[in-house]
Structure 1
């Protein structure tokens, strides 16, 4: 029995894709603030971000699957652990996504003339694979959150802004840190849910290392800081107060993370955090545009 198309889509973890879209929207808004918004380059940046995110998800599915990490977990469907798809097929799917990201990234740096960003692109793909891949995956050492913050926050937002405007501003930095923190919060929620099973297989994520209580508190703190940072720029962009809407949307998942005792109850938090990211990016962009 082979995996269905819907199962492949499920394994791509669509709930995480807003975390790829949000940085491009925020980075493009920052470029607009510099009067340098370029839709074509923004679209290429979006392709890079989405392909990398799906590639990371498939790579994680493959690496955790062959290690047995996903054999007794609570969470979305996994291709490798289900044994419905050969592990090497999932691996090839991950690298196909990385290939798409590489092609789109090459086109982006060619259009913008920012050839030095090729180094950043290669680093992004290497980091994506070794998150759970290789002999010593850094995701098993509590460094996964660092990868997410840097590459799905700082690199994604600042890279989007720079390839359009050839400069970055304070607004871009605020958005980059904010997007990075929201993406990291999503990963933290996922890892809080998996603390017991991760520890059983010696996967010491940051949540597993610092413990259940501190991990839950850090989720709330990350979202709070993300919402506050753009408000520092309301003097020049008064409509950035709209970002508080993301704070309002974040209340429910924060309460769930703080009080849910059944691990499965944390699964909807992933989707909810993704929605926070979407609202954050939309409010940020609208605040700058207005």
Structure 2
């Protein structure tokens, strides 16, 4: 039976910045429009956290029962390592996704933004079918697109729209930036797993692009947000403060450009997520002050 520490590791805490960052950035874009609701922001954060933990457990379950995680490099996989029964991990996944749905429903009812019900349903289905079902889209190289949409566009713009009832070009720009950062985290993860994924027929985008192409994609994804920062800074100069977070990519970029593999890429996921969070906090504060 898995210990509490193993369940926490199985939830993949290194991925939590992917849930926190878009909400933080979205709150900044909301404040820039002169609106803010602390409880709506808090509920949006709870939805995002529940979704990402749910998708992590769902991924653990689905990959585990398929045998994809048997020789995986990286953080503990509950099912693949045999420390937790598949049905327990499945229950945890469905419980987290169900919580996301209930909190999202409460937020929609309270605000009257009814079309967000459709967005919420799509997010939950996307979380499950990433690696679940007979034809998971994560095995077809579409995972990066899903992460960009769900933990970039949907999370940021959903946070803004539920409070304001509209979105701005700044909110959209921030959403694209966060989406690129979040996709870079998955790209680094899939780069590390190319050998085992290819062996088990998991044709991620990294497997399709190959080692060199995936490294180039990562570098492009972490560069785009800083181009966006400069563009936003033309109209809101305080936003340029977020450029200082580029220094946090010194180690990840070195690992990517010098051919780091296996365990050597694990810190890249952590550092990319932390840089994304730092960028979101500084950009959010700058936009709020604007």
TM bin, normalised by shorter chain, reads: over 0.9
What RMSD over aligned residues (CA atoms) do the two structures have, in Å? 0.9
Provide the residue aligned with 1:17 in structure 2.
16
Aligned mates of 2:179, 2:232 — CA distance in 1: 18
The secondary structure found in structure 1 opposite 2:148 is: helix
Aligned mates of 1:131, 1:230 — CA distance in 2: 30
Per-residue CA deviation, residues 149-207 of structure 1 (Å, 9 max, x unaligned), is 00000000000000011110011001100111111000000000000110000001000
Provide the residue aligned with 1:108 in structure 2.
107
The secondary structure found in structure 2 opposite 1:133 is: coil
The question of whether the paired residues in 1 share the 8 Å contact of 2:20 and 2:48 is answered with: yes
CA drift of 1:60 comes to: 0.3
CA drift of 1:8 comes to: 0.2
CA drift of 1:260 comes to: 3.3
CA drift of 1:59 comes to: 0.3
Runs of 4 or more, structure 1, over 4 Å off, are none
The secondary structure found in structure 2 opposite 1:3 is: coil
Per-residue CA deviation, residues 240-289 of structure 1 (Å, 9 max, x unaligned), is 11111222212221111121343210011111011111111111112112
Which residues of structure 2 form unaligned runs of 5+? Answer: none
Provide the residue aligned with 1:140 in structure 2.
139
Q: How does 1:278-289 map to 2 (within 5 A)?
A: 278-289=277-288
CA drift of 1:64 comes to: 0.3
Aligned mates of 2:199, 2:244 — CA distance in 1: 39
Provide the residue aligned with 1:4 in structure 2.
3
Q: TM-score, normalised by structure 2?
A: 0.98
Per-residue CA deviation, residues 75-108 of structure 1 (Å, 9 max, x unaligned), is 1001101112110110010000011101110111
Shifted more, 30-39 versus 56-65: the winner is 30-39
CA drift of 1:236 comes to: 3.0
Which residues of structure 1 form unaligned runs of 5+? Answer: none
Aligned mates of 1:65, 1:109 — CA distance in 2: 35
CA drift of 1:38 comes to: 1.2
Provide the residue aligned with 1:232 in structure 2.
231
The question of whether the paired residues in 2 share the 8 Å contact of 1:186 and 1:273 is answered with: yes
Aligned mates of 1:236, 1:195 — CA distance in 2: 41
